[in-house]
Chain A
Amino acid sequence: MLRKLIKYDYKSMMRFWWIAALISAALAFVGGGSAFLLGSEMDLPETIEAMAVLVLIMVVVSFSIFAVLSMILVLVRFYKNFFTDEGYLTFTLPVKRSQLLNSKLLAGSGVMLLTYLVCAVNVFIIFFFGAIREIFQKDFFEKLMDFVREILQEIGTFEILVMIEALVLFVLVILISLLFPFCCITFASIVAKRAKAAAAIGIYYGASSVLSFILQIFYLFGISSLTIWLGKVSENAVEPIILLILLVVILMAAIICLILYFLQYWMMDRKLNLS
C-alpha cells in the first residue's frame, strides 16, 4: 500500500516538476552559450560581454528558483492532501498515519534528489560549453585521465569516509528540510482557524529566522575557535577528529530528523481531530 501512496504522490508532484526541469535545462544551454562567448578569444564589445555575464548570473539564479519551486510542489502536495477537502478522503484510506507521512517524505525526497541532480547536470552543461575549446584539443583526454589518476591517487581512507559521511548528512538534511515545513504546516492547521496556508508560511519563516540567527552566531565564533583548537592537536589526530566531528553532526541531524518525525506524527495522530 505504501508503494501505491508513493506512486500517486510522485505523480502529483511531477505533474509540473518536469516542465520546470525542462525550462531549467533550456536555460542551462543559454547559460552555456554565454559561457562559450565569455571564454572565447574573440574581441567582444564590452556591452556584449556585460550582457553575457548578466545572462549567466540570471541562469544560475534560475536554478535556485527551480529548487525552490520543487520544494513548493512537495509542500503544496502535503498541504492539499492532508489539510484541504482532499484530506477527508486521505484519512479514510485503509492505511496507517505513518504510511501516509512516509509516502510524502519518500516521494518528496525523491523529487528533491532529482532536482539537485538536474541542477548538477545544468551546471555541467554550462561548464562544458565554457570549456568546449579545450575539450576538442588533441591532448584533452590525456590531460583529463592524468588529472583523474592524480585525484584517485590522493584519495585514501580518510577521503572515502568523509565522502560517505557527507552523503549521509546530505540525505538527512533533505529529510529535515521536508519535515520542518511539514511540522510548521501541521502546527498552523491546528492553531489557525482561517488562512492556514498563510499561518504556515509565517510560522516557517519565524522559526527559520530564529534558527538562522543561532547558526550565524555559531559561524561567527565557532569557526575561528575550532581552527585554533584543532591547530593545537597533533597532526596525526586531526583526521580522526574531523571524522568524529562529522559523525557528531550526522548524529545530531538524525536526532533532529527523528524528533521532527515524532512531532509530525503526534500532531497528525492526536491533534488533527480527523478520526
Chain B
Amino acid sequence: MSTGMTPTPGTLRVGFEKAMRETYERLTTGSSALDAPFRTMKDVFMLAACRGYQLGERRALDAKETPIHWEVFSSDRDVPILKAIAISATGDVAVLSRLDEVVAIAEEYANVGIRDIKSLLLDQYGQPLWSLVNMIRDDDANF
C-alpha cells in the first residue's frame, strides 16, 4: 500500500506482476487489430484495473515490474477514473493527496482484472477484439 511518501508524477511508475508480462505483450504486440487490439500497455492496465474493481477483488503483487510511466495516463480520462476507484475503495477523498496509494490500489485491482481478461480474451475461441467488445457490451448493468 502507500509508502507514506508522495512521489512526484514525474518519477511515478505503474506496474504489474512479472508473471503477467506475457499477457500484456500478447494483447499489444502484432499488426492485427483483431488479435492484439490494444495499442499500449497503459490501455491494458486501465481495462484490468476497471475489471478488477468491477469484480470487487484486489490482490497484492508478487515480483513486480514497473514499465508504465505515470505521464502516459491521460489527465482528463484515465487519471480521474483511477482516482474514482481509489476514493470508492477507501471511502475517503483525502486519498487523492496520496498518489502512490491511488496507484497501488489500481495495481491491486489490475492484478485480479488481468487474469480475468486473459481468460476472456486469450483463452477462448474467437478473436480477442470481439471478445473484448462482448465483455464491454455485456456489462449493461453498470450504467
Do A and B truly interact? no
Interface residues of B (CB under 8 A from A): none
